[in-house]
């Protein structure tokens, strides 16, 4: 279609949001679907946060706010970085945006020129690549293998960068969506050194920071040295930690020069985040009624159950995730050995949704063909039943239809 831009013609809808919409549509039609597709907590937003929003409405806190975020929220974010990450920022280093998704594209729009290269370790969350394309920059994928626990190494990054013409940004995501892997301090240190040597900006997506298990610790790469802090933009938000996906608030902290320009861009695109959400987020960050920890513990139980259930299925393997709420089993044996001509993870997910009413996301959406992603933001009962259906679905592939 001639009227559409090249940019628009290249876009595909977010596969995670698409599968979730399809599962919800089937449920509306009365079909019992187990939805492991979407990455959003199934808990309600904690009461103390909701009360704060109600109060904001009653106080008529309903007007435009400063584009970069209300001063009280910026201060709460500064306190959060000090408390959780040992990072010191000023108000000029903070920008509040409508979701971490918006924070990420704001950074990319601010730093990328056409043909700049953005290194994305894979498996990777679905939107990074599309966002890079939207900025007319070039995604450069770097595979983190299952044998290395889905983590890239500094040596791999260094070798990759040598092949590039304009390496500009590395996107890091720990804890990771879709693998649940968490980078250690030492791993981050050596990756950071490669970025500094090559003058690359680190875009560190830390949205799953609060969901981390088995005593693993979240380390922000920006906290490892002053130099790294000056070369990193940290992105975080409230969607996952506080079960606030629909409220739409994310934030970034980074060098003033980048944040200032990102704020100017935002002033022309979305103006500001919903004023009520901003007030509620001051409360979310400053207070704590124990809900975040309760949700984390529940996710941890589900992860244990899900991991042992999936690993109990013949020819299915998964690495135990250390964080987030995803698990990504290797199902390649069934793609190679089935009797139904199913050769891709996408076809497998389509088959499982149609015939076994299981909503999963194909590994290919994360550049991890041969895998499927489960989000275990679902009840233990559903997880139990879902694993059974998954097993039945896979075994059915071995019989001719």
Q: Tell me if 151 sits within 8 A of 183, measured CB to CB.
A: yes
Residue 108 CB, nearest distance to ligand GLU (Å)?
16
- Name 11's Cβ contacts closer than 8 Å, sequence gap at least 6: 130, 133, 134
Q: Identify the residue whose tokens are 């209300």.
A: 70
Query: CB of residue 378 vs ligand GLU: minimum separation in angstroms?
Result: 13
> For residues 19 and 335, which CB has a smaller minimum distance to ligand GLU in the complex?
19
* Complex with ligand PMP: residue 173 or 345, whichever CB lies closer: 173
Q: How far is the CB of 125 from ligand GLU (least distance, A)?
A: 6
Say which entry of ligand PMP, ligand GLU, none residue 14 contacts (CB below 5 to 8 A, set by partner kind): ligand GLU
In the numeric block, the tokens 């879709």 are attached to 178
**Which strand (E) or helix (H) includes residue 292?**
helix 291-311
Cα separation of 283 and 267, whole Å? 25
Q: Whose CB is nearest to ligand GLU?
A: 39
* Least distance from ligand PMP to the Cβ atom of residue 354, Å: 26
Residue 347's binding partner, choosing from ligand GLU, ligand PMP, none, with beta-carbon cut-off 5 to 8 A by kind? none
The item of ligand GLU, ligand PMP, none sharing an interface with residue 205, based on CB under 5 to 8 Å by kind, is: ligand PMP
Residue 195 backbone dihedrals phi, psi, to 5 degrees: -65, -40
How far is it, in rounded angstroms, from Cα 399 to Cα 343? 15
Which residue's CB is nearer to ligand PMP, number 15 or number 250? 250
Least CB distance from residue 1 to ligand GLU, whole Å? 26
Out of ligand PMP, ligand GLU, none, what residue 100 binds, judged by CB under 5 to 8 A for its kind, is ligand PMP
Question: Which residue sits closest to ligand PMP, CB atoms considered?
Answer: 99
φ and ψ of 99, to 5 deg: 105, 150
* Cα distances (angstroms) measured from residue 228 to each of 69, 142, 208, 253, 288: 25, 21, 21, 13, 30
Residue 254 sits at φ, ψ, to 5 deg, of -170, -175
Rounded to whole angstroms, the Cα distance separating 306 from 290 reads 25
Structure tokens at 211: 């969901």
Least gap, CB of 38 to ligand GLU (angstroms):
5
Site for ligand GLU, rule CB under 6 A: 14, 16-17, 38-40, 125-127, 177
Residues forming contacts to ligand PMP in the complex (CB under 6 A) are 39, 99-101, 125, 173, 177, 205, 207, 237, 239, 245, 250
Residue 89 binds which entry of ligand GLU, ligand PMP, none, CB below 5-8 Å type-dependent: none
Supply the minimum distance, in Å, between the C-beta of residue 2 and ligand PMP.
33
CB of 369 to ligand PMP, least distance (A): 19
Please provide the DSSP assignment of 323-353 as one string: BTTEE--B-HHHHHH-SS---SHHHHHHHHH
DSSP-derived secondary structure letter, 173: E
Question: Please, which residue, 154 or 368, has the CB nearer to ligand GLU?
Answer: 368
Q: What is the chain's alpha carbon radius of gyration, rounded to the nearest angstrom?
A: 21
Work out what residue 38 binds among ligand PMP, ligand GLU, none; the CB cut-off runs from 5 to 8 Å by kind: ligand GLU
In the complex, the smallest distance separating the C-beta of residue 99 from ligand PMP, rounded to whole angstroms, is: 3
Pick one of ligand GLU, ligand PMP, none as the site partner of residue 126 (Cβ within 5 to 8 A by kind): ligand GLU
- CB-based contacts of 264: which residues, under 8 Å, 6+ apart? none
401 CA to centre of own chain: 38
Q: Which residue, 238 or 335, has its beta carbon nearer to ligand PMP?
A: 238
207's contact among ligand GLU, ligand PMP, none, with CB below 5 to 8 A by partner kind, is ligand PMP
- The nearer residue to ligand GLU, 154 or 328, going by C-beta atoms, is 328
* Closer of 118 and 365 to ligand GLU (Cβ): 365
Residue 85 backbone class (left: φ over 0; alpha: ψ -120 to 50; beta: rest) = alpha
Q: Between residues 89 and 326, which has the closer beta carbon with respect to ligand GLU?
A: 326
Selection from 184, 196, 187, 186 nearest residue 231 by Cα: 196
Nearest residue (CB) to ligand PMP, 334 versus 366? 366
Minimum distance, C-beta of residue 299 to ligand GLU, in the bound complex (Å): 14
270 binds, among ligand PMP, ligand GLU, none (CB under 5 to 8 A by kind): none
Q: Strand (E) positions, 226-298?
A: 232-237, 250-253
Look up residue 224 and give its DSSP letter. Answer: G
Structure tokens, 185 = 């301090």
**Residue 130 CB: number of other CB atoms within 10 A?**
15
């Amino acid at each position: 279609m001639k009227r559409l831009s090249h940019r628009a013609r290249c876009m595909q809808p977010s596969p995670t949001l698409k599968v979730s919409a399809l599962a919800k549509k089937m449920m509306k039609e009365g079909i019992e679907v187990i939805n492991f597709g979407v990455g959003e907590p199934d808990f309600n937003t904690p009461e103390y946060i909701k009360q704060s929003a109600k109060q904001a409405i009653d106080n008529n806190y309903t007007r435009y706010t400063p584009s970069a975020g209300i001063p009280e929220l910026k201060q709460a974010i500064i306190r959060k970085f000090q408390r959780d990450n040992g990072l010191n920022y000023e108000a000029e280093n903070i920008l509040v945006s409508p979701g971490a998704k918006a924070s990420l594209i704001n950074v990319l729009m601010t730093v990328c020129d056409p043909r700049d290269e953005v290194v994305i370790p894979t498996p990777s969350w679905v939107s990074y690549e599309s966002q890079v394309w939207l900025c007319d920059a070039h995604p450069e994928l770097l595979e983190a293998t299952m044998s290395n626990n889905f983590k890239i190494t500094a040596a791999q990054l260094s070798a990759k960068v040598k092949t590039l013409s304009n390496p500009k940004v590395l996107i890091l995501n720990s804890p990771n969506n879709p693998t649940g892997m968490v980078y250690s301090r030492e791993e981050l240190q050596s990756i950071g050194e490669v970025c500094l040597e090559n003058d690359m900006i680190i875009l560190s997506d830390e949205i799953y920071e609060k969901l981390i298990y088995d005593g693993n610790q979240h380390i922000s790469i920006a906290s490892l040295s002053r130099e790294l802090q000056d070369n990193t933009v940290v992105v975080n938000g409230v969607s996952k930690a506080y079960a606030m996906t629909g409220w739409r608030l994310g934030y970034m902290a980074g060098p003033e020069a980048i944040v200032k320009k990102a704020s100017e861009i935002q002033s022309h695109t979305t103006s500001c985040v919903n004023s009520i959400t901003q007030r509620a987020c001051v409360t979310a960050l400053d207070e704590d009624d124990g809900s975040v920890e309760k949700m984390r513990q529940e996710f941890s139980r589900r992860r244990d159950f899900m991991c042992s259930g999936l690993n109990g299925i013949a020819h299915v393997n998964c690495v135990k995730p250390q964080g987030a709420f995803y698990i990504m089993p290797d199902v390649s044996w069934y793609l190679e050995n089935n009797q139904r001509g199913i050769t891709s993870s996408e076809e497998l997910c389509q088959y499982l949704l149609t015939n076994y009413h299981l909503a999963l996301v194909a590994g290919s959406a994360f550049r991890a063909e041969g895998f499927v992603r489960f989000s275990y933001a679902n009840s233990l009962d559903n997880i139990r039943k879902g694993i059974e259906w998954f097993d039945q679905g896979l075994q059915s592939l071995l019989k001719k239809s």
